[in-house]
Amino acid sequence: MLAFALSRLARAAITILFVVTFAFIVLRLSGDPALLIMSVDAPPEAIEAFRKAWGLDRPIWEQYLAYAWHALTGDFGKSMRDGRPAIDLVLERLPATLAITLPALALKLGIGIPAGIYAALHRNSLADRLTMMVSVAGFTMPSFVLALVLVLIFGVTLGWLPASGADSVWHAVLPIVTLGTAGAAIMARFTRSAMLEVLGQPYIRAASAKGLAWWLVVAKHALPNAAIPTVTIIGFMVGSLVAGAVIVESVFAWPGIGRLLVSAVANRDLAVVQALLMVIAAWMVLANLCVDLAYGWLDPRVRSGAR
């Protein structure tokens, strides 16, 4: 298990290095930051001075090495807009994002998993079909549409909840529901198919033939096996805790990571964009690492490398 964990850790580090490099290349390919930041009619001396101040006049590989080294030590330089350390800007937005994505995750798992299990156990029943219909609607609808519908109903028509901003706890309700609904729908569908797959396995029939009560067959034999594929999708959801709310934050004017990303990209604030990508990537990689380790924990076949 230790060797297994170490090899996954090494892979995670390589992924992060790749992201760092990729971010650098893409942002440089998109144009000269000096020209983009300064106004078009700025005097050439001013542009030159800007370049010198930010190190943009040095050879590109030197810029890359300096950038990569700093990035790996957590230093992304200062925001080109307001001069504060980029990483601080990012980290101070993190709590706001987590404030809506964490409750949304709880919603996804808390509703999606039980609904999926129930639907699978009552396959083809009315409840199953209803659950699946709602679930299809839930994840085919784009989140901004759902967001606008919710705003229209609860914000405008009924006036129960604020439609945008972040002034009180109530402001978080609609963003959380928007995020949670789509996720719960995906989760329900995934859990259901994982459960159905497992319920069709010979060891389920064999467990029943042993004389175990049906709920014990489900609890002890079906659920632990169905959990294995479900971990993938849970990992994906945990991975999107940081950057999964870009659209929803924009619609609800929620001051989180997502909105920072949108405005930093629009402003060509290189340092901030790079810091954001780094934090997002690091979180994703960490989530993936957890998924891999969870596999090893849940499935003895993975642990012993039998597959």
Give the integer Cα–Cα distance in Å for 207 and 216.
9
Considering CB under 8 A, how many residues would be counted as binding other proteins?
Answer: 29
Residue 121 vs 246, nearer CB to other proteins: 121
Nearer to other proteins, 9 or 46 (CB): 9
Strand ranges for 193-283 from DSSP E: none
Angstrom distance (rounded) from CA 43 to CA 170: 49
- Given the complex with other proteins, which of 94 and 223 has the nearer CB atom? 223
Q: State the nearest-atom distance from the C-beta of 211 to other proteins, in Å.
A: 3
For other proteins, which is the closer residue by CB, 171 or 221? Answer: 221
- Distance, in Å, from the CA atom of 115 to the CA atom of 185, rounded to the nearest integer, reads 9
Helix axis angle for 270-298 and 223-239, nearest 10°, is: 170
Within positions 106 to 135, which residues make up the interface with other proteins, using CB under 8 A? Answer: none
Residues 170-189, interacting with other proteins (CB under 8 A) = none
- Contact pattern for other proteins over residues 212 through 251, marking x by CB under 8 A: xxx-----xx--xx--x-----------------------
Q: Cβ closer to other proteins: 131 or 181? A: 131
Q: Which of residues 286-305 bind other proteins (CB under 8 A)?
A: 298-301, 304-305
Provide the CA 163 distance to its chain's centre, in angstroms.
Answer: 23
Dig out the tokens for 143 from the structure.
Answer: 């989140």
What residues numbered 4-43 form the site for other proteins, per CB under 8 A? 4, 6-7
User: Who's near 230: CB < 8 A, 6+ residues apart?
Assistant: 113, 190, 191, 194
Residue 13 and residue 264 in contact, taking contact as beta carbons nearer than 8 Å: no
Residue 144 vs 214, nearer CB to other proteins: 214
State the first-to-last Cα distance of the chain, in angstroms, to the nearest integer. Answer: 15
Chain residues in the site for other proteins (CB under 8 A): 3-4, 6-7, 201-203, 205-214, 220-221, 224-225, 228, 298-301, 304-306
